[in-house]
Chains A and B, each alone.
Chain A
Amino acid sequence: EAQVTQNPRYLITVTGKKLTVTCSQNMNHEYMSWYRQDPGLGLRQIYYSMNVEVTDKGDVPEGYKVSRKEKRNFPLILESPSPNQTSLYFCASSLSHTYNEQFFGPGTRLTVL
Chain B
Amino acid sequence: AQSVTQLDSHVSVSEGTPVLLRCNYSSSYSPSLFWYVQHPNKGLQLLLKYTSAATLVKGINGFEAEFKKSETSFHLTKPSAHMSDAAEYFCVVSDQYNAGGTSYGKLTFGQGTILTVHP
Contact = CB atoms under 8 A, between A and B. Distances in A.
A90 B111 CA distance: 15
Contact of A50 (B36, B49, B102, B110): B102
B107 A48 contact: yes
B107 A40 contact: no
B4 to A, nearest CB: 8
A102 B44 CA distance: 9
Interface residues of A, number: 27
A1 interface: no
A44 B107 CA distance: 9
Contacts, number: 64
Interface string B100-111: 001111111111
B104 A56 contact: yes
A45 B103 contact: no
A31 B107 CA distance: 11
A85 B21 CA distance: 30
Interface string A12-44: 000000000000000000010101000011111
* Centre residue among B6, B34, B104 by max chain A CB count within 10 A: B104
Nearest to B99: A56
B112 A50 contact: no
A41 B46 CA distance: 19
A45 B94 contact: no
Interface string A69-108: 0000000000000000000001010001111011011110
B90 interface: yes
Contact of A106 (B43, B105, B107): B43
B105 A48 contact: yes
Interface of A: 31, 33, 35, 40-45, 48, 50, 54, 56, 58-59, 90, 92, 96-99, 101-102, 104-107
In the complex, the 5 A-B pairs of residues with the closest C-beta atoms, listed nearest first = A97-B105, A43-B109, A42-B111, A101-B46, A104-B43
Given A42-B109, A58-B106, A90-B43, 5 more contacts: A43-B44, A48-B107, A54-B102, A59-B108, A102-B46
